[in-house]
Structure 1
Amino acid sequence: MPTDAQLLLLDGDVVGANLQAEQVMAAVREAFVLHSQRAGRVFPVVREKLHTGGVFGIKSGDVASQNLLGFKAAGFWSSNRGLGGEPHQATVALFDPNTGRPLCIMDGNAITTARTGAAGGLGLQLLARPESSRICIFGTGVQARVQLDYALTLLPQRCTVRYVTVGGAPDAVFESAFRARCAIDIARDRNEAVAASDIVITATPGGGALFDADAVQPGTHLTCVGADTAGKRELPEGVLQRARIFVDDRDQARSIGECQWAPQLPCIEIGDVLAGSATVERAAHDVTVFDMTGLALQDLTVARFLHERAIENGLGTSVPWPW
């Protein structure tokens, strides 16, 4: 057995500095297409509540043609805020599928943020009305920021943004991050803000319905991020029943996404649209929902290019990992 094997470690600084938006978008698009063509496998998701109040999950999969194998261990610990830390925690590991040996362990927080933002951006490009310019966003945290960043980057016209916070108070830091790119203001009435919007983005912990169902007007597109565990939801009863539903993975959405609340409704996997096996013929009055639960393949395709770049440029820290 070889004794000179090495394990590459990539911390958050290395990962964050090498996440380029265009590459992330390309990797996420590739992940959806691989999933649609069943060229990449997604293994059953682990998602469990802990005695500590946290939620722990594992998403794993492989792409045989690329010798790509790995998982992301991630979850949400709200108590981290009291410690001055990030509630979302994630770690990605890549393995050699021929031997089972670990190749690379990397910080997964920035990967999760970037790939989820890119997925939401792809959903907007495919599903929102092209003339959409009025955005309502629920949440002002890390995921809300990246979703809004992609929306403002990809929508061709200047947008107006109204945001909703838990307590209804303005978030000056959130506003300042986007004020140069859009007209942004706090929403005083969440139902009015939804009714006046072309795009609604929900990026909260998924603690319950965020607005009334009848606030959603014909033609609205909804990007739903927060429902990723059994029992979570952001949409009120009645919205899915009116909508054309798109998901990243049908079974996963029906078990831990918004679709868990209406699993009998038909839905289309976004990868099928990107691969050309399904089409989107959007009428102006259609309500569309992209229920995003996150695919392991998204994490793995992004981690793959980070691993390759690290090797090419001598990044990260290698530690002995003998057999």
Structure 2
Amino acid sequence: MPDNAQLLLLDRDQAAALLQPDEVLAAVRESFRLHASGDGRIFPLVREALPAGVFGIKSGGVMTQDLLGMKAAGFWPGNRQYGADGHQATIMLFDPASGRPQCLIDGNAVTTARTAAAGALGLLALARPDSERLCVFGTGVQGAAHVDYALRVLPGLRRVRYLTSDGRRDPQFEARFAQRCDIAPGAGADAAVAASDIVITATTGRGALFSAQAVRAGTHLNCVGSDTRGKRELPEGMLALAHTWVDDLAQALSIGELQWAPQTPVQELGALLAADVPARHGIAADAITLFDMTGLALQDLSVARMLQRRALATGTGTHIAWPW
């Protein structure tokens, strides 16, 4: 057996520095294609409550591309009292021929970027191309990332209204986007939704954020926060009013918004992206569209592989001996 094997380590700052939005978008789009074609596999999800938080494992692989790996991630709210992120994620890539680990990556920035990129791809496929007004629930890491990517892929967006859990202004959030759009707090949940072309929900999923009646014809919704059994962001009856897409049907039924309305007719977004058709192809202009996002292991792995390649090309990261 070889005795010179090494394990590549990428810490938080190294991983974040290597993440380029265009490359992340390309990697996430590829992950959707692999999922739709069946070339990529996602393995059964682990998602369990612990005394201090929630722990999960998403894993999968693409054997034809020598890609195999997992992300161990979850949410530990107690971290916030120390000024640390409650969300924690670690990604590991393996050699599928031997099972040996190849790369260990801090997964927080990867999770944020790949989720926002998936949301952006949903916007490109399902939102009206003339959309100008966006409403976002949540101004945390995910909310900010989704607004960033939305502004990148839909240059026609002119106005952003945001809502926080406590109703207060978020000056830091406003400052981040002040040079790119008209940004201000929303004047109440229903009013902000009714005045928007796009609605993004990126909260902790404690309950319905607005009323279904507030959603106007032609609106698109990206729903991010429901990623565990018992979480929800949408009001009862919302899915019945919308044309709904998911990233993975089984996951959406288990941990997404679909857990609350399992009989809802849905399609997987990967099939739509693989068809490479114009935005809202075959969808009536006044139809409400919705993307229920639970996150694919293939998204994490495709982005992680991109980071591994960039790290090796640029000499980034730490190599440690990992002998057999």
Partner of 1:39: 39
Give the count of matched residue pairs.
322
> Any residues of structure 2 matched to 1:1-323 within 5 Å, and which?
1-52=1-52, 54-276=53-275, 280-323=281-324
The worse-fitting range, judged by mean Cα deviation, of 33-42 and 79-88 is 79-88
CA shift digits 1:204-240 (9 cap, x unpaired): 0111111111111111100000000011000000110
TM-score of the two chains, using structure 1 as the length reference:
0.98
SS at match of 1:232: coil
The worse-fitting range, judged by mean Cα deviation, of 268-277 and 4-13 is 268-277
**What is the distance in 2 between the residues matched to 1:159 and 1:199?**
12
SS at match of 1:113: helix
Letter of the structure 1 residue corresponding to residue 15 of structure 2: V
Letter of the structure 2 residue corresponding to residue 111 of structure 1: V
Letter of the structure 2 residue corresponding to residue 195 of structure 1: A
Q: Would you identify which runs of 4 or more consecutive aligned residues in structure 1 move more than 3 Å?
A: 277-280
Judge conservation of contact 1:273–1:280 (CA < 8 Å) in 2. Answer: no
Deviation at 1:305, TM superposition (A): 1.1
Letter of the structure 2 residue corresponding to residue 282 of structure 1: I
Deviation at 1:158, TM superposition (A): 4.1
CA shift digits 1:91-116 (9 cap, x unpaired): 00000011110001001001000000
Deviation at 1:78, TM superposition (A): 1.4
Letter of the structure 1 residue corresponding to residue 182 of structure 2: A
Judge conservation of contact 1:9–1:317 (CA < 8 Å) in 2. Answer: yes
CA shift digits 1:176-203 (9 cap, x unpaired): 0001111111113111111111100000
Letter of the structure 1 residue corresponding to residue 285 of structure 2: A
Judge conservation of contact 1:168–1:188 (CA < 8 Å) in 2. Answer: no
TM-score of the two chains, using structure 2 as the length reference:
0.97
Judge conservation of contact 1:211–1:235 (CA < 8 Å) in 2. Answer: yes
Deviation at 1:77, TM superposition (A): 1.2
**What is the distance in 2 between the residues matched to 1:228 and 1:280?**
28
SS at match of 1:121: helix
Q: Which runs of 5+ in 2 are unaligned?
A: none
Deviation at 1:277, TM superposition (A): 8.8
Deviation at 1:2, TM superposition (A): 2.3
Deviation at 1:280, TM superposition (A): 3.6
Letter of the structure 1 residue corresponding to residue 221 of structure 2: L
**What is the distance in 1 between the residues matched to 2:76 and 2:132?**
34
Q: Which runs of 5+ in 1 are unaligned?
A: none
SS at match of 1:152: helix
Judge conservation of contact 2:68–2:93 (CA < 8 Å) in 1. Answer: yes
Deviation at 1:159, TM superposition (A): 1.4
